[in-house]
Amino acid sequence: MDTEKKSWFKRLNDMPLLAKVAIAIALGIGLGFVMPVAIARIFITFNDLFSQFLGFMIPLIILGLVAPAIADLKQGAGKLLLITVAIAYLDTLVGGMVGYATGAGILSRIMSPETSFAAGEGAKLTSYFGIAVPPLMDVMSALVFAFLLGIGACTFGKDNPLLGVLNYFKIIVEKCIQSAIIPLLPLYIFGIFLKMIMEGGNGSDLLNLAIVFGIVLACTIALLIVQYAIAGAIVKKNPFRLLLNMLPAYATALGTSSSAATIPVTLRQTLKNGVSENIAGAVVPLCATIHLCGSALKITACAVAIMLMNGMPYDFPMMLGFVLMLGIVMIAAPGVPGGSIMAALGVLQSMLGFGVDQQGMMIALYIAMDSFGTACNVTGDGAIALIMDKIAGKMKTENGEMRDEN
């Protein structure tokens, strides 16, 4: 019997995060109609405690991930790599603004507070007790401090003690995300949906979430087609054949939900598209960290959707500032499923005013689409590698001509 129990728990623990979240949502909705209030308040108490811990961790996540990421980028910043960083960041911004246009232009026509769980009028559930865990600093202070430390670490060279401290702190933060936050997210999401149903939700949000999922997926595919159309025009190759060659990387990312884990396949398929080995070897690993167009698209679109469902105001200047900041904080996203949304929680809170419930909904939506956003990211890396190979070839030719003239 004990062996069977251990086997059952092992199978549950080995389930993909997406499957756990799907089960948590289904159980939260189903049990929300029958669970006694006294028992439900136990889960609400857990959610309140977890949200306090998450709020405490958000500035530390930003500090622990952004600072070493900036230091690493600075250390390897040659001319070609700087151009790669600029293109990747620009494409991430484009992805974010496509997400905003999708939300403002499409989702706003089909979503409103009247069609969401927020319209319910059930009894409000409260926790049995609460513990306040204030963060050590606010989000913007953490971001500025991370930039200061990251840039400062570069000025002392590669082997300075400050860089070592930052890397050790990054390991601690990543370990906390992987061992504490990510494993508890399904229970947290279960509590959110349980509360929504028991406080009077009618389930129409499920249709809204399905609509958001389908629209965002279509937008990521359209974004990839545009990326390869541009890359194909620059390198004078058939864009659809180039994109077809990258399908193994897309499929691998769907299975792993990790850009880092997909690097070997992305690199192989990029070489198959004719990119030189040295350019592919430099661009693909770098872009796996900083090129996050698919993630920016889905985070921004989902953020607008949740703001629509909660009647929260938004406008173009607000969302532009959000996307600009999002493109910076996400470069620190660890190579684990859900890493980007962990890094983005700070700007969702500070710039868009997302509270505990909105953050929970964002986490649920993001994880549901995590693999598709990651697949868009890594497949787009191949397009950037094609462009950089063309730029590198042109620079090499120009330098050769200059040497001949001298």
Confidence at residue 2, expressed as pLDDT on a 0 to 100 scale: 52
pLDDT score for 234? 92
Question: How many domains is the chain partitioned into structurally?
Answer: 1
Q: Is 82 part of a structural domain of the chain?
A: yes
193 — alpha (psi -120 to 50), left (phi > 0) or beta?
Answer: alpha
Residue type at position 337: P
Q: Report the C-alpha gap between 157 and 236 in whole angstroms.
A: 41
The tally of CA atoms less than 13 A away on the side-chain side of residue 353 is 9
What pLDDT sits at residue 244? 92
CATH number, domain with residue 311: 1.10.3860
Domain membership flag for residue 98: yes
What is the number of alpha carbons within 13 Å of residue 89 lying toward its C-beta? 15
Token pair of 225 as six digits: 């087609």
Show the domain range for 101. 10-394
In-domain check, residue 5: no
Would you say residue 404 lies in a domain?
no
**Vertex 243, ends 216 and 396: CA angle to 5°?**
120
The two structure tokens encoding residue 305: 């959707």
The tokens describing 232, both together, are 């194909």
Rounded CA gap, 330 and 223, in Å? 19
Helix axes 370-405, 79-105, angle to 10 degrees: 140
> What is the Cα–Cα distance from 174 to 183, expressed in whole angstroms?
13
Q: Which two tokens stand for residue 382?
A: 């191949």
Report how far apart the first and last C-alpha atoms of the chain are (Å, whole number). 82
- Identify the pLDDT of residue 52: 84
DSSP element (H, E) containing 338: none
Quick one: pLDDT at residue 76? 47
DSSP state letter for 124: P
CA distance 379 to 294: 10
Check if the beta carbon of residue 194 is closer than 8 Å to that of residue 30. no
Task: Give the burial string for 44-55 (b: 16+ CB within 10 Å, else e).
Answer: bbbbbbbbbbbb
What single string gives the DSSP state of each residue in 137-201? S-HHHHHHHHHHHHHHHHHT-TT-HHHHHHHHHHHHHHHHIIIIIHHHHHHHHHHHHHHHHHTT-
Q: Decide: helix, strand or coil at residue 105.
A: helix
pLDDT of residue 97: 93
Instruction: Categorise residue 281: left if φ over 0, alpha if ψ from -120 to 50, beta otherwise.
Output: alpha
Calculate Rg over the CA atoms of the chain.
22
Domain annotation covers residue 143: yes
Q: Kindly give the confidence (pLDDT) of every residue in the chain, 406 residues in length, as a single tens digit, with 9 standing for 90 and above.
A: 455 555 655 666 667 666 777 788 788 878 888 888 888 888 889 888 888 887 788 788 778 876 776 676 555 445 777 788 889 889 999 999 999 999 888 888 877 665 554 444 555 777 888 788 888 887 668 777 887 887 777 777 666 788 888 888 888 887 887 788 778 878 887 887 788 777 765 555 666 777 888 888 899 999 999 999 999 999 999 999 999 999 888 888 876 677 766 878 888 899 999 988 888 887 887 787 788 898 899 899 989 988 888 888 888 999 999 999 888 887 755 455 566 787 788 888 888 888 877 888 888 778 777 778 888 999 999 999 999 988 888 776 665 543 343 3
Please name the amino acid found at residue 75.
Q
**What CA–CA distance (Å, rounded) separates 286 from 331?**
10
Torsion, CA 193, CA 198, CA 199, CA 203, rounded to 10: 60
pLDDT at 106: 86
The answer to whether residue 3 sits within a structural domain is no
Specify the pLDDT at position 120: 47
Q: Is residue 1 part of a domain?
A: no
